[in-house]
Copies of this chain bind each other. A is one copy, B any other.
Amino acid sequence: MIQTSLKESFKKSNYQLAGHGKRNIHVLKEAFQAVDENLESDLYGEGKVIEEFQEKMASILGKEEAVFFPSGTMAQQIALRIWCDEKGIRKVAYHPLSHLEIHEEDGLKEIHKIESILLADKNRVIELEDVLNLREPVSSILLELPQREIGGQLPSFDTLEQISAYCQENGIRLHLDGARLLEVLPYYQKSAAEVCALFDSVYLSFYKGIGGIAGAILAGDKEFIQQSKVWKRRYGGDLIGLYPYILSADYYFDRRAHKMEQYYQSAKELAHLYNSCHGISTLPIDPVSNMFHVHFQQPKDQVELVLAEVHRQTGIGLTSYLKEIDEKSCYFEVSLGDLYADVPNELVQVAFKRLNELMKQHFLPL
């Protein structure tokens, strides 16, 4: 077996199964191709470009108002800070693997002195029980749909409704980390507004399922959005021009928001293929959105050899990386997008046949 690095072999593959394609300058050029050169930049949060998009998103999410942020990190910290100020309680509850807890260098704690109460075991989603068992007062609870770090799992919609009702009765604000909100709508069989109605505030990302360049929307009631704009300025997020992100978000939103059902079906199909291979299982087994994780109970360096070999032999790219869990296991994340539909099905079958054979060859006890 030739040793090719996983990243290199993935780059050289003819087809990639996940995503919308490369994150390169073409993404921007395509989005701007049809935009009138004379269209004026937004200006510190004002102007047609930003205001119209904010109104469009507020309407889709069923909220009074919305504001465009350069990042979800900024938007969500601010949302939680506003709810903490409202209640006079600097505590929020969320999942142990929330983006705020593990990917933001403790911004919430360092900037706002907000304490995080971790709900649920890290290997499962938050259930009503976890909320009922909260032993201390919190200003707000953040739910992430789907829970990304565990493969994109979801509570039932009933659970969401129960948590929402409980929070409303008990004066706890409920915030939605909806970075991938659109991606879960096919599973729930709900509109974005129907899901958002259960939450006081909502954040949506434009570079996940939508595949834009960057940027996020925060939505809620008028008073909440007004305050969030003040904080956006404090953070240095009220840029003189956010239009490169806004116009590309709008372009790819229109192009992909209606394709979430397709991505979801692709995810289910692809997960089934992985689960049919020796020594491979997906988390969740049956995806509930366009995403899942692919787990191996074998050492990372050995799995890398197998995957690179599949890339090399079949021209089908499965992943560019593997993440080590411990010495004996590893995984990678898959988010389905536009690309999957363009891969000839017979080549996909060949790739998974080969993957299964190589997995057996390498890891089946003799």
Which A residues have a C-beta under 8 Å from some C-beta of B? 22-29, 32, 35-41, 43, 69-75, 77, 104-107, 110-111, 207, 213-214, 230-231, 233-245, 247
The answer for the CA separation of A16 and B105 in the assembled complex, in Å, is 46
Across the two chains, which residue of chain B brings its CB closest to A234? B107
Check if B23 sits within 8 Å of A38, measured CB to CB: no
Tell me whether A41 and B24 are in contact in the complex, defined as CB-CB below 8 angstroms, given that A111-B235, A241-B213 are known contacts: yes
The answer for the CA separation of A240 and B69 in the assembled complex, in Å, is 13
Which of A32, A231, A234 counts the most chain B CB atoms within 10 A? Answer: A234
The answer for the CA separation of A233 and B70 in the assembled complex, in Å, is 12
Instruction: Name the B residues within 8 Å of A41 (CB-CB).
Output: 23-25, 27, 213
Check if A25 sits within 8 Å of B38, measured CB to CB: yes
Check if A77 sits within 8 Å of B236, measured CB to CB: yes
Identify A236's interface contact among B25, B70, B238, CB under 8 A: B70
Check if B107 sits within 8 Å of A207, measured CB to CB: no
Tell me whether A207 and B106 are in contact in the complex, defined as CB-CB below 8 angstroms, given that A32-B29, A41-B27 are known contacts: no
Check if B235 sits within 8 Å of A107, measured CB to CB: yes
The answer for the CA separation of A238 and B70 in the assembled complex, in Å, is 10
The answer for the CA separation of A152 and B27 in the assembled complex, in Å, is 39
Instruction: Name the B residues within 8 Å of A238 (CB-CB).
Output: 71, 73
Closest 7 CB pairs of A and B: A74-B236, A73-B236, A244-B244, A107-B234, A71-B236, A26-B37, A23-B41
Check if A105 sits within 8 Å of B71, measured CB to CB: no
Can you pick out 25 interface pairs between chain A and chain B where the beta carbons lie within 8 Å of each other? Answer: A22-B38, A24-B40, A25-B35, A25-B38, A25-B243, A26-B38, A27-B41, A29-B32, A29-B37, A32-B32, A70-B237, A71-B237, A71-B238, A73-B233, A74-B236, A104-B233, A105-B234, A111-B234, A111-B235, A207-B240, A207-B241, A213-B240, A214-B242, A235-B236, A244-B245
Identify A233's interface contact among B38, B40, B72, B105, CB under 8 A: B105
